[in-house]
Structure 1
Amino acid sequence: MIVTKRVYEAPDPQDGYRVLVDRLWPRGVKKAALKCDEWCKTIAPSAELRKAFHAEAIDFAAFREAYRRELEASPEAARRLAALVRKQRLTLLYSARDTTQNHAQVLADFLRELA
């Protein structure tokens, strides 16, 4: 099972393996305070794609397609996380304000297809 959660939400024992999937460290969160098993920067969208989406130069549909192409071009980290899903629950941590249209949701869908 794959779930997504904002880094600002309290950890839960049921979270399983917790992975921060942002390229940048979340604002206002001390590294020692964030309960995560791994910070996987390489699986986050490229800086150019992230900036285009946040500047509203592209909409979410275009962002989703471009991010999926990036994931397909470098699938190593995604394959590794998908393998974890077969063994335990995986919680993808992100800092975006929007809980429905963000890269963690796209990544979760991508990983579900691989698992």
Structure 2
Amino acid sequence: MIRTKSAEEKPSKQDGVRLYVTRFWPRGHGRDECDAWLPNLAPSEKLLRAFLADQITWAAFSKEYKKEMTKGYGDEDGKNAHMRNSGQKHTLKLLKLLAKGQTVTLICSCAPDEKHCHRHLLQALLED
């Protein structure tokens, strides 16, 4: 099962494997609050900054984020031909497999009630 949560929400036993999927480490949170930090599953800095500055709509952000997760944003210049998408594809496969046997909670620093957060898009990608 895949769940989402805000870093502002307290950890619980129901969270299972807790993963920060943020581009930047959430301020004021210790390393003991999650099992792993996966910044490669966050939007690229360029995309994130454009959305936060209201330069693009949520629809455009969603489309570009999904594209980044499937097509990549890491090593498109070809220096590492075997890892063109910074490992997102492989990480997504691993998380899908992991979620079949236990709860995986994707955590972002957005507010708990924020509907326009990539953690929801990531959850949908993993459940697809």
Assess same fold via TM > 0.5: yes
Identity of aligned residues (%): 38
What amino acid is aligned across from residue 83 of structure 1 in structure 2? Answer: L
> Residues 1-115 of structure 1: matches in 2 within 5 Å?
1-32=1-32, 35-73=33-71, 74=85, 75-97=89-111, 99-113=114-128
> What's the Cα RMSD here?
1.2
Cα distance in 2 for partners of 1:96, 1:80 equals 24
TM superposition outliers: structure 1 runs of 4+ over 3 Å: none
User: 2:82 corresponds to which residue?
Assistant: none
Question: Aligned with 2:18: secondary structure?
Answer: strand
**C-alpha offsets along residues 12-51 of structure 1, whole Å, 9 cap, x if unaligned?**
101111100001011222334xx21110111111000000
Larger deviation, residues 23-32 vs 49-58 = 23-32
Alignment: residue pair count: 111
- Distance in 2 (alpha carbons) for counterparts of 1:110 and 1:62: 16
Instruction: Using structure 1 for the length normalisation, give the TM-score.
Output: 0.90
Return the index of the structure with the highest Cα Rg. Answer: 2
Inter-partner Cα distance in structure 1 for 2:70 and 2:58: 18
Please give the alpha-carbon distance, in whole angstroms, between the structure 1 residues aligned to 2:19 and 2:116.
19
